[in-house]
Structure 1
Amino acid sequence: MAETLRRVLSPSRAAESGEDNSAEAGPPLLLLGGPGSGKTALLFAAALEAAGEGRGPVLFLTRRPLQSLPGRTPAALDPLRLQKIRFQYPPSTHELLQLLCSAHEARGPAPFLLLLDGLEEYLAEDPEPQEAAYLAALLLDTAAHFSHQVGPGRGCGLIVALQTQEEGSSGDALQLSILQRYFPAQCWLQPIASGSGERCFRACLEPCGLVPKAEWCVAFQPDGKMTITPWHTQAGDPS
C-alpha cells in the first residue's frame, strides 16, 4: 500500500497537492529492515493514519500481541481510531493461512488496509521457496477480495513487514527475491544515530513503475510523535 505509507511519511505533501484520501490503493508494499529498524512503529503509524481518514477498518496481523503501543501521541490514544484497528494474532503459519482463506466469510465492513508484521516468523516455520510464494500470493488475493468488497475507485491497501539480516543465508536471499516478485514496491528502513531519546531511521521508498525512489528521515520522539524530513536535508550526508 505505497500510497497510504507515502501519506504517512509525508502527510503535508499530500495535503498540499490536494489529493483525495479515497483514492484507489497503490501497489502492495514490502517493508524491509533489520531488528529494531522501526517496522512495527511505522506499520502502527500507517494504521492510525488510515483509521483517521474516515474510510473504514484496518486489519493488523501479527504473531503475538503488542506489549505496548508504539506511540503515545493523541492519535495513538484516540479510542475512535483504535476501535477501527482490528488486531488479530495468528500464532502459526497454519492459523495465518486459515485466517486468510476464510476472509471471504468474515462479516462486517471490509478493511481498507491490511497489515502484516513479522512475516519472517511465519516463513521460518517452512523455509521452502514455494511456501513464501504461496503465502505472498494468498496475501495479495485477500487484499484483492477486500478491494472488491470496498468497491471500485478505493480498494484495500497491503503492507507487509519483513525482518532482514545483515548476513543472511542463501535461503533467506531466495525468499526475499521471491517476495519481491509479488511486492513491486519496497521500503527499506535503516536506524541512524540520534540523541535526546529520539529514534531516527532512514526510509528509502522504491515504488514500482516510473516513479523515482524517495528517501526520508523518520524520527520518533520519546512521546511517540513522528516527524518526517527529506533525507537530502540531513547534515553530513555524503550522498
Structure 2
Amino acid sequence: MAEALRRVLSAGRAAGPAGDGAAGPPLLLLGTPRSAQTSLLFAAALEAAGEGRGPVLFLTRRPLQSLPLNTPAARNPWRLQKVRFQYPSSVPELLQLLASAHEAPGPALSLLLLDGLEEYLAEDSGIQEAAYLAALLLDTAAYFSHRLGASGRCGLVVALETQKEADSDAPHLTLLQRYFPAQCWLQPDTLGSGQQHCLRASLESSKLSPRTEWSVTFLPNGEMKIIPWPTQASEPSPDKNCSSTESQSLTL
C-alpha cells in the first residue's frame, strides 16, 4: 500500500522501483483529527481501482455521507464500481468480516483499506486484542496476495487517528508499528486563503528508506492539490499559501 499512496501523492507519476503496480509494505496512516485521512484513503482506493487489477475493499465504521474528493476519478463510474464499501460497526463484526473474507465470491482484492482504527480499539484497549486485529488484517491481505499470484500483491493500509502530532505515546501505536513497517504522518499546516485545508504528509516506506514529504491542499470544492514539501525552509513564505500555483491537481 505504501506505493499506492506514494503514487497518489506524486500525482500519479511513477513511484520508483515499485512503480510497476507493486503494493509495497503494509502502511499505517497517522494523523490528528481533521487530517483528511479518509480523503487520502479514498484517493488511494481510486488509484488502485484504476490499475486494472482486482477490486478494492474500503472498511469504515459508518457510511460516508458524501464522496470525500471531487476529482475526475471520483466521478468515474468504472473506478467507483471497483471500490466496495462495508461498514462493520463493532470489533466482533470487523473480525467476523475479515475472518470470512476468503469465502466471498469474485476476484481477489487488490487493496484492503481500514478507516478509523482508533474507534475500534476504543472498545477494548487490551494489547492482545489489538495485536490479534492487526494480525488478522495482515493475514487477510496475505490470503488475497496468494490468490493474485504473479499478477501482484494485495495492499493494506490502516488509518489511525492520534490526539496530537507525532504522538509516539498513543495507545497501541508502538505495537501497531511492528505490524506496519511503513508509516505516513499527516500534520496540519498553516491555512491558505479562503477555506483551504493544508497538510504536510511525511511518508516512510521502511526504516531504511528516506522520508518523502508533500504539501497537500484541499480546496472547498473537494479538489486536492499536491506539491513536494520545500526542502530549503521549514516554514512557508508569508506571501504564499500552501496551494502554490505550481501545485498539481489530483486527476487520477
Report the TM-score when normalising by structure 1.
0.91
How far the C-alpha of 1:235 sits from its partner, in A, is 6.4
Task: Give the number of aligned pairs.
Answer: 235
Q: Distance in 2 between matches of 1:179 and 1:95?
A: 20
Which runs of no fewer than 5 residues in structure 2 stay unpaired?
A: 237-252
Segment of structure 1 superposing worse, 143-152 or 158-167: 158-167
Contact 1:191 1:201 in 2 (8 A): yes
Identity %: 69
Q: Which residue of structure 2 lines up, in the alignment, with residue 11 of structure 1?
A: 11
Q: Which residue of structure 2 lines up, in the alignment, with residue 106 of structure 1?
A: 104
How far the C-alpha of 1:223 sits from its partner, in A, is 2.3
Letter in 2 for 1:79: P
Q: Which residue of structure 1 lines up, in the alignment, with residue 248 of structure 2?
A: none
Q: Which residue of structure 1 lines up, in the alignment, with residue 123 of structure 2?
A: 125
Aligned match of 1:188 in 185, 193, 202? 185
Letter in 2 for 1:178: L
How far the C-alpha of 1:8 sits from its partner, in A, is 0.6
Secondary structure (helix, strand or coil) at the match of 1:201 reads strand
Letter in 2 for 1:157: G
Letter in 1 for 2:215: C
How far the C-alpha of 1:153 sits from its partner, in A, is 5.1
Q: Distance in 1 between matches of 2:31 and 2:19?
A: 30
Secondary structure (helix, strand or coil) at the match of 1:173 reads coil
User: Once superposed, what is the RMSD of the aligned Cα atoms?
Assistant: 2.3
How far the C-alpha of 1:52 sits from its partner, in A, is 1.5
Q: Which residue of structure 2 lines up, in the alignment, with residue 179 of structure 1?
A: 176
- 1:185-219 Cα distance to aligned partner (Å, 9 max, x none): 10000121222222211001122142101111011
How far the C-alpha of 1:174 sits from its partner, in A, is 4.4
Q: Distance in 2 between matches of 1:168 and 1:200?
A: 17
Pairs within 5 Å for 1:142-221: 142-152=140-150, 154-166=152-164, 173-193=170-190, 194-221=192-219
Segment of structure 1 superposing worse, 76-85 or 172-181: 172-181
Pairs within 5 Å for 1:86-105: 86-105=84-103
Letter in 2 for 1:165: Q
Q: Distance in 2 between matches of 1:236 and 1:213?
A: 15
Could you say if the C-alpha distance between residues 173 and 80 of structure 1 is closer, same or farther in structure 2, counting changes exceeding 3 Å? same
Pairs within 5 Å for 1:25-64: 25-64=23-62
- 1:15-65 Cα distance to aligned partner (Å, 9 max, x none): 7x697543x321000000011001001001111111122222110000000
Aligned match of 2:230 in 229, 232, 236? 232
Segment of structure 1 superposing worse, 139-148 or 216-225: 216-225
Q: Distance in 1 between matches of 2:181 and 2:158?
A: 12
Letter in 2 for 1:135: L
Segment of structure 1 superposing worse, 3-12 or 137-146: 3-12
- 1:46-92 Cα distance to aligned partner (Å, 9 max, x none): 11111122222110000000011101222111111110000000010
Q: Distance in 2 between matches of 1:107 and 1:46?
A: 23
Contact 1:69 1:76 in 2 (8 A): yes
- 1:157-204 Cα distance to aligned partner (Å, 9 max, x none): 00100000129999x634111000000110000121222222211001
Q: Which residue of structure 1 lines up, in the alignment, with residue 241 of structure 2?
A: none
Q: Answer 1 or 2: which has greater helix percent.
A: 1
Could you say if the C-alpha distance between residues 169 and 36 of structure 1 is closer, same or farther in structure 2, counting changes exceeding 3 Å? closer
How far the C-alpha of 1:12 sits from its partner, in A, is 4.9
Letter in 2 for 1:184: P
Could you say if the C-alpha distance between residues 234 and 109 of structure 1 is closer, same or farther in structure 2, counting changes exceeding 3 Å? farther
Contact 2:31 2:187 in 1 (8 A): yes
